[in-house]
Copies of this chain bind each other. A is one copy, B any other.
Amino acid sequence: MLKKIPKILSPDLVHALMKMGHGDEIVLADANFPGHSLHSNVIRCDGIGIPPLLDAILELLPLDPYAEHQAALMSVVPGDPVVPTVWDTYRGIVASHDASATLAFEERFAFYGRAKSAYAVVMTGEEALYGNIILKKGVV
């Protein structure tokens, strides 16, 4: 633990966030996400929900103002009646760090494709449905 760095963030996660550059993306994945089969650079955060992790990451990570959207969610599969309430929580946290940030939606398999080319995947303990979120790093 260090001063100024949220205690919830592991050394490996901060290390990855620091090595990312402008335009690189990181996936905060829910507990059922197939992260290890999609990516070789996986950081485990078992037992921790995405809201506190997202909040802690955004204390350090600037979002990309040059991109059309600064983050992305997985859109609900057509026909699925689920209404993900966690999105509002995510939107509130993102807005509290970057008021102008907007979130894109990616269809399930497009989301997987983007996860494959991300810089890293963070496996969390988040259990909310459609709870994955991709963040795009900006400049400092």
Contacts and interface: CB of A to CB of B under 8 A. Distances in A.
A7 B125 CA distance: 7
Contact of A7 (B10, B34, B36, B46): B46
Interface string A1-42: 111110111111111011111111000000111111100000
A3 to B, nearest CB: 5
Nearest to A58: B3
Interface residues of A, number: 45
A45 interface: yes
Nearest to A11: B18
A37 B24 contact: yes
Contact of A34 (B3, B15, B20, B48): B20
Contacts of A37: 20-21, 24, 119
* A-B residue pairs, 10 tightest by C-beta: A21-B34, A8-B47, A11-B18, A10-B46, A1-B140, A2-B60, A22-B32, A32-B139, A15-B15, A19-B36
Given A1-B139, A5-B60, 15 more contacts: A2-B18, A3-B59, A3-B62, A4-B5, A4-B59, A5-B18, A7-B140, A9-B46, A10-B18, A10-B47, A14-B14, A21-B34, A21-B35, A32-B140, A47-B48
